[in-house]
A and B are shown apart, each in its own frame.
Chain A
């Protein structure tokens, strides 16, 4: 009988140890550890380009986590991304003129939203909007075209086709995403060589939701990440007329060779707006 008891005690210890390990792993090494304990409130802001920012990415003030990104969506008809931030109630004293910026933690790290406090005496409340935002830091402005891959937009609402000509499409292939302000709005339908004009004719299939794209917008072939796949980025123009099915985009920027870019980066030392990419745009 004593023999049996020792089995039972040992087995009990084993079971407790196993469950303790599971509980520890599940709560301390996963995103569960980041779930805010207290109640939170929502604040919206807009970015011209969210890059690689994902839902549930942290929101930080002075490097300290105060909340997380609740949702990211592209407002139809506008070239800006709506971002909802869920901030812990205990951090209730954020000035209304604070600036929200998207930062990247390290070259390969994930992006997060940093808040820099303003000087206003009024604090943001649930549902209010942070008017000031910065899309990315200058480094990302240039390297940003190398980052920002995301899932292709679903085409549940139907699509319309737009053509664009490039002198060099690099490794662009059908199915690659089409993005505006970093958010996927469609996909590349076909890539063909034009036998007469001797350039590449790319047909873009864009979600009908986004039918407010000015017809003088430009299309560029970008690469997501250092070794990532290529995609087409659309930068909206200012024309009052919108792109329609079958239109051709006039302004295009071909795929940049990695060698060119690195050369540029090294020559410039500190990258600025020379790359032609979008930099900070405060609203």
Chain B
């Protein structure tokens, strides 16, 4: 009985992934059509990107600060506090920046995209657009997807900058690591392609695509009831988080 249920859950999950992939194709097909709605994309970029700045900046600062603090204590055991700039930068660029930004993005922007599209469906707004001969994929879904794709690397850049600043604040300003040592160690060991571009650009674009896709997919396919919308919102966070961390492993293996 439980084996049966398990098999059903696996089939269900596979079917979701398959539908999600097909939905991506639908979106990509509608993207040229959505260029007519550039204004809508800009508006979504505002909601999805600019409105997420506060949480991203706050979290980036604290992640950098806590990293600076932890590293100071660990590295001082080896007398290597000079390396804390390097470790802060590499840890943030390679992993913490893209992954934490994507998780926050899923929680802040992904859920609101899902809930918004789900409610638009529940209140027949999607059907109304269909009836007004406006393709809802091109007008509603594609702009949100594109906005997520564009916003993620930008948010990740801001997160990383604040993270480095936080690490510097704790390490140099409070704990007294030499300013020059902090920066020169960082600049000597951080590579622009291997660390910055791989992390901030490749990883965060991939995460942005995955989170936005899951968010619009869950919103668009949710049953048009309040329960359905609530469930879809939860699913967006859960599925996004799993997808981000799994994809992070795959990308790290490929990009290293």
Chain B residues closer than 8 Å to A26, beta-carbon distance: 192, 196-197
B161 touches which of A11, A21, A58 (Cβ 8 Å) = A21
**A108-B192 in contact (CB<8A):** no
List which B10-63 residues lie within 8 A (CB) of chain A. Answer: 39, 42-43, 45-46, 49-50, 53
List which A76-121 residues lie within 8 A (CB) of chain B. Answer: 105-110
**A14-B154 in contact (CB<8A):** yes
Stretch from A28-36, A39-47, A168-176 forming part of the interface with B? A28-36
Chain A residues closer than 8 Å to B151, beta-carbon distance: 14
List which B165-185 residues lie within 8 A (CB) of chain A. Answer: 183, 185
B160 touches which of A19, A25, A107 (Cβ 8 Å) = A25
A25 touches which of B78, B79, B196 (Cβ 8 Å) = B196
Write the nearest CB–CB distance from A256 to chain B, whole angstroms: 20
A282 CB-CB contact with B under 8 Å: no
**A10-B188 in contact (CB<8A):** no
List which B84-133 residues lie within 8 A (CB) of chain A. Answer: 89, 93
Chain A residues closer than 8 Å to B78, beta-carbon distance: 107-108, 226
CA–CA, A40 and B205, complex, Å: 37
**B42-A8 in contact (CB<8A):** yes
Chain B residues closer than 8 Å to A7, beta-carbon distance: 42-43, 46
**A30-B50 in contact (CB<8A):** no
Chain B residues closer than 8 Å to A34, beta-carbon distance: 187-188
Chain B residues closer than 8 Å to A14, beta-carbon distance: 45-46, 49-50, 53, 151, 154
CA–CA, A4 and B82, complex, Å: 49
A17 CB-CB contact with B under 8 Å: yes
Chain A residues closer than 8 Å to B186, beta-carbon distance: 29-30
B191 touches which of A4, A18, A27, A31 (Cβ 8 Å) = A31
**B161-A25 in contact (CB<8A):** yes
**B196-A109 in contact (CB<8A):** no
A22 CB-CB contact with B under 8 Å: yes
Q: Contacts A22-B153, A29-B190, A30-B196; is A105 near B50 (CB within 8 Å)?
A: no
**B154-A17 in contact (CB<8A):** yes
CA–CA, A25 and B167, complex, Å: 14
The bracket for how many chain B residues form the interface is: 35 or more
**B188-A22 in contact (CB<8A):** no
**A33-B187 in contact (CB<8A):** yes
CA–CA, A24 and B46, complex, Å: 23
**B157-A19 in contact (CB<8A):** yes
**A11-B42 in contact (CB<8A):** yes
- Name which residue of chain B comes closest to A32, CB basis: B192
- Name which residue of chain B comes closest to A227, CB basis: B78
A193 CB-CB contact with B under 8 Å: no
A22 touches which of B45, B89, B191, B200 (Cβ 8 Å) = B200
Write the nearest CB–CB distance from B70 to chain A, whole angstroms: 17
- Name which residue of chain B comes closest to A106, CB basis: B82
**B190-A30 in contact (CB<8A):** yes
Q: Contacts A25-B160, A107-B79, A109-B80; is A15 near B154 (CB within 8 Å)?
A: yes
**A21-B157 in contact (CB<8A):** yes
CA–CA, A8 and B185, complex, Å: 40
CA–CA, A19 and B157, complex, Å: 7
B155 CB-CB contact with A under 8 Å: yes
Q: Contacts A29-B164, A31-B187, A106-B82; is A10 near B46 (CB within 8 Å)?
A: yes
Where the two chains meet, the residues of A that have a C-beta atom closer than 8 Å to any C-beta of B are 4, 7-8, 10-11, 13-15, 17-19, 21-22, 24-34, 57-58, 105-110, 226
